[in-house]
């Protein structure tokens, strides 16, 4: 069906999108799709947002790349915005989520190394999590399916069930450096953590002198209705990875950390050739201008509540199609009764893009700029698929 010149690691749908506008995509055959996948929770401001286009175009004519051997004012500005709005004192820019999480892991190990506790190099992580596709981030998540054939598995990770505070406590030993968690598991099936669980992890980290690491690659930048999902629990991590929504579709990742956690990351201990280049920073700054504008996150919360209410209603009316609705903000999952990929294929055929996730879930992660009309249209399509 397709040319076979690409490494066949993706199970691609046979469609070519040529143009996007807001939450809508137009395919090469003229079909229009309502995009509730947003490039897997990436296009936070939808497609072709005028402010992002203008920011990219303005920077494109000036300077694309100069390396991190020199100052990049865009990095300093984006860092300032992120730090002011968070627990963090320092920021690092990279290109992807996995890269961000690699640095999160490195900071945790280095912190104890410099404190004279090099034996504290193990991280307690959760089953069902996802942190990326590099050798270390695969090991961090520990998902057997993704690790198969790629051994030897990187050392230094102990896994406990997500949401089980007692198991986390039980896994902490004299070699433990940090606890790692997603505030809402995304790939794992849109599973939100109980705020009490996150508060409990914070307390354990403090009690045992560990760092609390959060993967907000998917949940960050307004996805759950707060700038960062951990804000819902009232606690903060020591180190956090960001990516997906931060560039609104331009590849950019970031790590935020407290001064204490990052105190040992001195010149030469890390780096990234492309990270935080002027193009990426111009777009990220524009994304933050929008997402941090007064009222933006309140609107996300309101439209998310509307969508959630409609989906809960569908689940009540079609128990044979939707077993459960879960998630937070505009990061919602339908645990479907039919196989999720089949349900998702029917949504696609009816003009709605969604994304599969673990635990037989169909993920709805629309652009944060959707309005009532897009919610009603999406619900109409899902209703039609549930009716069969």
Query: Residue numbers of the site for ligand PLP (CB under 6 A)?
Result: 96-98, 101, 130-132, 182, 186-187, 215, 217-218, 243-244
Closer residue to ligand PLP, CB minimum distance, 362 or 379: 362
Closer residue to ligand PLP, CB minimum distance, 94 or 386: 94
Q: Is 98 annotated as a binding residue?
A: yes
Q: Is 217 annotated as a binding residue?
A: yes
Tell me the closest approach of the beta carbon of residue 18 to ligand PLP, in angstroms.
24
Closer residue to ligand PLP, CB minimum distance, 23 or 357: 357
Closer residue to ligand PLP, CB minimum distance, 98 or 375: 98
Q: Is 215 annotated as a binding residue?
A: yes
Tell me the closest approach of the beta carbon of residue 217 to ligand PLP, in angstroms.
4
Closer residue to ligand PLP, CB minimum distance, 284 or 314: 284
Tell me the closest approach of the beta carbon of residue 123 to ligand PLP, in angstroms.
14
Tell me the closest approach of the beta carbon of residue 215 to ligand PLP, in angstroms.
5
Closer residue to ligand PLP, CB minimum distance, 182 or 238: 182
Closer residue to ligand PLP, CB minimum distance, 98 or 287: 98
Tell me the closest approach of the beta carbon of residue 241 to ligand PLP, in angstroms.
7
Write the secondary structure of the chain as one string of H (helix), E (strand) and C (coil).
Answer: CCCCCCCCCCCCCCCCEEEEEECEEEECCCCEEEECCHHHHCCCCCECCHHHHHHHHHHHCCCCCCCCCCCCHHHHHHHHHHHHCCCCCEEEEECCHHHHHHHHHHHHHHHHHHCCCCCCCEEEEECCCCCCCCHHHHHHHCCHHHHCCCCCCCCCEEEECCCCHHHHHHHCCCCEEEEEECCEECCCCCEECCHHHHHHHHHHHHHHCCEEEEECCCCCCCCCCCCCHHHHHCCCCCEEEECHHHHECECCEEEEECCCCCCCCCCCCCCCCCCCCHHHHHHHHHHHHHHCCCCHHHHHHHHHHHHHHHHHHHHHHCCCCEEEEEEECCEEEEEECCCHHHHHHHHHHCCEECEEECCCEEEECCCCCCCHHHHHHHHHHHHHHHHC
Q: Is 216 annotated as a binding residue?
A: yes
Q: Is 130 annotated as a binding residue?
A: yes
Tell me the closest approach of the beta carbon of residue 27 to ligand PLP, in angstroms.
24
Tell me the closest approach of the beta carbon of residue 170 to ligand PLP, in angstroms.
24
Q: How many residues does the chain have?
A: 388
CB-nearest residue to ligand PLP: 97
Tell me the closest approach of the beta carbon of residue 244 to ligand PLP, in angstroms.
6
Scan for tokens 């933006």, then name that residue: 296
Closest CA to 101 of 195, 215, 267: 215
CB-neighbour burial class of residue 246 (10 A; exposed 0-12, middle 13-18, buried 19+): buried
Q: Is 218 annotated as a binding residue?
A: yes
Closer residue to ligand PLP, CB minimum distance, 26 or 134: 134
Q: Annotated binding site: which residue ranges?
A: 97-98, 130, 133, 215-218, 273
Q: Annotated binding site for pyridoxal 5'-phosphate: which residue ranges?
A: 97-98, 130, 215-218, 273
Q: Annotated binding site for N(2)-acetyl-L-ornithine: which residue ranges?
A: 133
């Amino acid at each position: 069906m397709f040319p076979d010149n690409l490494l066949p690691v993706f199970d691609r749908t046979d469609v070519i999108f040529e143009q996007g506008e807001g939450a809508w995509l137009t395919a090469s055959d003229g079909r229009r799709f309502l995009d509730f996948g947003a490039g897997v929770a990436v296009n936070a401001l939808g497609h072709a947002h005028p402010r992002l286009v203008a920011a990219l175009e303005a920077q494109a004519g000036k300077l694309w790349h100069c390396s991190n051997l020199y100052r990049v004012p865009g990095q300093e500005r984006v860092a300032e915005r992120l730090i002011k709005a968070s627990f963090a004192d320092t920021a690092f820019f990279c290109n992807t989520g996995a890269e961000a999480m690699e640095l999160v892991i490195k900071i945790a190990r280095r912190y104890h190394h410099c404190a004279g506790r090099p034996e504290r190099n193990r991280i307690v992580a959760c089953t069902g999590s996802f942190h990326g596709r590099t050798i270390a981030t695969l090991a961090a998540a520990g998902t057997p399916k993704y690790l198969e054939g790629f051994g030897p598995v990187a050392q230094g990770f102990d896994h406990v069930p997500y949401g089980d505070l007692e198991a986390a406590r039980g896994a902490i030993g004299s070699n433990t450096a940090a606890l790692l968690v997603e505030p809402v598991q995304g790939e794992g099936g849109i599973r939100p953590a109980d705020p009490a669980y996150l508060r409990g992890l914070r307390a354990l980290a403090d009690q045992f002198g560990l760092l609390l690491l959060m993967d907000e690659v998917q949940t960050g930048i307004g996805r759950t209705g707060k700038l960062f999902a951990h804000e819902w629990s009232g606690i903060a991590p020591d180190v956090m990875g960001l990516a997906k929504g931060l560039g609104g579709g331009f590849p950019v990742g970031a790590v935020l950390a407290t001064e204490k956690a990052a105190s040992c990351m001195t010149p030469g201990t890390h780096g990234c050739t492309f990270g935080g280049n002027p193009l990426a920073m111009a777009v990220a700054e524009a994304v933050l201008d929008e997402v941090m504008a007064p009222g933006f996150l309140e609107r996300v919360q309101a439209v998310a509540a509307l969508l959630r209410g409609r989906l809960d209603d569908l689940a009540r009316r079609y128990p044979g199609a939707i077993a459960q609705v879960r998630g937070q903000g505009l990061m919602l999952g339908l645990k479907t009764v039919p196989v999720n990929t089949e349900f998702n294929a029917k949504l696609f055929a009816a003009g709605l893009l969604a994304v599969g996730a673990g635990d037989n879930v169909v993920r709805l992660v629309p652009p944060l700029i959707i309005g009532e009309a897009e919610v009603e249209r999406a619900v109409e399509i899902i209703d039609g698929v549930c009716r069969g």
